[in-house]
Amino acid sequence: MFDWLVWLVSWALILGGCLFIVAGGIGLVRMPDLFTRLHAASVTDTGGAIVLSLGLIVQAVFVFGSAMAAVKVLLILFFTLFTAPTASHALAKTALLSGQVPVGADGRPVLDSPETAARLARSRPDEDAR
């Protein structure tokens, strides 16, 4: 009974994680603009990694009986949780800073000009460039 429950839970988690990840991959290919792709890839990557790792931890603890493997997967999870969103933040900020203008749903740019985008990305927009 317990084995069956563990099997079900880990199947559900791993399958859910894969669903997230495949959805992210499809989004990466089909989205029209850099920023929408960024959103698709980063959210689903992190979410999928979390769910998949939880499934792997359940497997490691109950099926493999190896606490070491479970701890390592937990470390991978925490590391990904810290670095994947940070990397996508850095990407988005640098993209905006370099003048990439987001495109709206109707295909027209949302902002006036690349300079507006750069100004929006700056951490203190009311200051001078120096």
Partner 1 sequence: MFAVATIALLVTMVLTLARALAGPTLFDRLLAVNSFGTKTVLLIAVYGFMTGRPDFLDIALVYALINFVGTVAVLKFFELDDLGSGVYQEDDY
Partner 2 sequence: MIEHLVIGALLTFLVVIAIGIIVLRDLLAAVVLLGLYSLVAAGAFIVMDAVDVAFTEAAVGAGISTILFLGALSFTSHEQKPRGNDSIVAAVFVVITGALLIYGTLDMPHYGSAASPAQTHPELAVRFIERSAGEVGPPNLVTSVLGSYRGYDTLGETVVVFAAGIAVLSLLGLRRRGSPGNLPPEAPGSAPGLTPVPAPHDPAAETSGAIDPATGPRRYARQRHRVLQVVTKLIVPFVLLFALYVQFHGDYGPGGGFQAGVIFASAFILHGLIFGLQRTRQVMPPSVVRMLMAGGVLIYGGTGAVTMLLGGNLLDYDVLAHDPLHGQHWGLFAIELGVGVTVTGVMISLFYAFASRRSDDREPARDADGSTPTGATTGAGGTPRAGDASTPGA
Q: Where are the alpha helices (DSSP H) in the chain?
A: 2-30, 34-59, 67-97, 114-121
Q: Which of 1, 4, 68, 106 binds partner 1 (CB under 8 A)?
A: 68
Burial call 75-97: b when 16+ CB within 10 Å, e when fewer: eebeebeeebeeebeeebeebbe
* Under rule CB under 8 A, residue 79 binds partner 2: yes
Q: Which of 1, 2, 29, 130 binds partner 2 (CB under 8 A)?
A: 130
Closest approach of partner 2 to the CB of residue 51, in Å: 22
Residues that bind partner 2 (CB under 8 A): 79, 82-83, 86, 89-90, 93, 97-100, 114-115, 117-119, 121-123, 128-130
